[in-house]
């Protein structure tokens, strides 16, 4: 009788991992093999509390049956439909359902596959809009320092994280300018919610208008809360001021809500939370609870009408993706929206924000902590960097937390946490107790 076949050991060599120190990871890998609700299970069988909602994206918790059932049903009925010159009902229905939770006026939706694609789509739509309006001179795109807008050439051009752009600098978009970021330890350290200092920084847009001329500026793109750079919360009045300046000069305003969309602040979008409506919103992540990759851009009807009506026949916008509005993604998105509504997860997140905030700010007395920023179910704990070793202290905290059964995220020397919206008080206690213990253990 032949011996039973043995499974080949897992090879880590072939996979080139994104945003990862590949050599270091493959020497000591951290592998996740399953997930349910608030927890992952790693390759050693340990339960790991998910303190980051995956990557800011699993807002309804892992492996939720209503979403999985919708994906299975759709996959068995139709796996793919071409997206050029053809359509399927799911994409149209999902777009309609999204408009019921979007800010009033943003009622046209363009689908892609990720936040990066959503950003590049929004930038292209802005340029196409001004072409259609007979103002092709409006080609300058304005981003902000420390911003993250994905990894497309458009996104890293308007983004403001130098390390993300350094390797590709010779081919970035040429007509781009940047506003200053709003982070200030001197004025705003340890603030809960919106800081009171910094609204005047929006006036830098007026300076760019004076330098370049309003007739050259197509759009401004900002994250309402800058996530990947460490949870930078907008000062009171900042977004309102930015909106007013854009209105005064006829500039389109784009909110990148890939992170803040779908309940992270206790409202459908940060635009709802702050009471400021942009001309476009980019979204992804929580759009499908991260079960199937998808991104989207919501635009004002006037933008859609201008582009579509500018062409008497034929294709109006020469842009799109093979998988735009993919049937499985649309099914996942529809089921995700229903789950958000059925369990009132946005309202739930808002009700937990106070407890979350108190637990986060209790870490203020830990060694090396120089700032804590909280809003909604986001908390970022900034640590003093080690001399000549920026990021090393926070990464050691990340490693120690994982070894203790809690997943957090680090960016530079900031520890970021943003759990699924199904988080309970006991999870919050475990999360911040583990982070505090890890911080106290590092030199």
Contacts of 377 (CB under 8 A, 6+ apart): 264, 265, 266, 349, 352, 353, 356, 418, 419, 421, 423
For residue 42, give the H/E element and its range.
strand 39-42
Q: What is the distance in angstroms between the CA of the first residue and the CA of the last residue of the chain?
A: 58
3-state secondary structure of 68: helix
Q: What is the pLDDT along the chain (443 residues), one digit of tens a residue?
A: 555 555 678 999 999 999 999 999 999 999 999 999 999 999 999 999 999 999 999 999 999 999 999 999 999 999 999 999 999 999 999 999 999 999 999 999 999 999 999 999 999 999 999 999 999 999 999 999 999 999 999 999 999 999 999 999 999 999 999 999 999 999 999 999 999 999 999 999 999 999 999 999 999 999 999 999 999 999 999 999 999 999 999 999 999 999 999 999 999 999 999 999 999 999 999 999 999 999 999 999 999 999 999 988 899 999 999 999 999 999 999 999 999 999 999 999 999 999 999 999 999 999 999 999 999 999 999 999 999 899 999 999 999 999 999 999 999 999 999 999 999 999 999 999 999 999 999 99
Sheet strand arrangement including 369-375: 369-375, 378-383, 414-417, 409-411
Q: Do domains 22-60+344-441 and 67-342 have the same CATH topology?
A: no
Q: What is the CATH number of domain 67-342?
A: 3.40.640.10
Please report, for the chain, the start and end positions of each structural domain, with discontinuous segments joined by +. Answer: 22-60+344-441, 67-342
For residue 253, give the H/E element and its range.
strand 252-256
* pTM exceeds cut of 0.85: yes
Give the domain 22-60+344-441 fold. Answer: 3.90.1150
In whole angstroms, give the CA distance from residue 440 to residue 443.
8
């Amino acid at each position: 009788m032949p011996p039973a076949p043995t499974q080949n050991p897992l090879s880590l060599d072939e996979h080139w991992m994104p945003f990862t120190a590949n050599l270091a990871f493959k020497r000591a890998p951290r592998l996740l093999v399953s997930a349910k609700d608030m927890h992952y299970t790693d390759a050693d069988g340990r339960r790991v509390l998910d303190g980051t909602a995956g990557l800011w994206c699993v807002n309804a918790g892992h492996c939720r049956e209503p979403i999985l059932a919708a994906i299975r049903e759709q996959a068995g009925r139709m796996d793919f439909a071409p997206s050029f010159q053809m359509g399927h009902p799911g994409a149209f229905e999902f777009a309609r359902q999204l408009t019921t939770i979007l800010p009033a006026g943003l009622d046209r939706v363009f689908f892609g596959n990720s936040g990066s694609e959503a950003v590049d789509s929004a930038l292209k739509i802005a340029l196409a809009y001004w072409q259609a309006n007979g103002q092709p001179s409006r080609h300058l795109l304005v981003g902000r320092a420390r911003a993250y807008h994905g990894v497309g050439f458009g996104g890293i051009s308007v983004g403001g994280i130098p390390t993300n752009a350094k390797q590709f600098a010779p081919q970035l978009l040429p007509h781009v300018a940047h506003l200053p970021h709003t982070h200030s330890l001197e004025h705003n350290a340890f603030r809960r919610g919106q800081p009171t200092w910094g609204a005047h920084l929006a006036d830098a847009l007026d300076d760019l208008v004076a330098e370049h001329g309003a007739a050259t500026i197509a759009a401004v793109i900002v994250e309402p809360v800058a996530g990947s750079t460490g949870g930078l919360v907008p000062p009171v009045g900042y977004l309102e001021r930015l909106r007013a300046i854009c209105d005064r000069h006829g500039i389109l305003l784009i909110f990148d809500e890939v992170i803040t969309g779908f309940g992270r602040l206790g409202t459908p979008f940060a635009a709802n939370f702050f009471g400021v409506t942009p001309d476009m919103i980019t979204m992804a992540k929580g759009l499908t609870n991260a079960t199937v990759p998808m991104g989207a851009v919501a635009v004002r009807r006037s933008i859609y009408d201008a582009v579509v009506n500018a062409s008497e026949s034929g294709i109006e916008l020469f842009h799109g993706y093979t998988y735009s509005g993919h049937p499985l993604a649309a099914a996942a998105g529809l089921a995700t929206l229903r789950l958000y509504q059925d369990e009132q997860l946005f309202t739930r997140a808002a009700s937990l924000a106070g407890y979350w905030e108190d637990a986060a700010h209790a870490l203020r007395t830990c060694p090396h902590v120089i700032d804590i920023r909280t809003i909604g179910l986001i908390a970022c704990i900034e640590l003093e960097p080690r001399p000549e070793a920026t990021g090393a202290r926070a990464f050691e905290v990340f490693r120690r937390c994982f070894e203790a059964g809690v997943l957090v995220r680090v960016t530079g020397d900031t520890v970021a946490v943003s759990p699924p919206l199904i988080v309970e008080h006991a999870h919050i206690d475990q999360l911040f107790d583990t982070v505090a213990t890890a911080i106290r253990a590092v030199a």
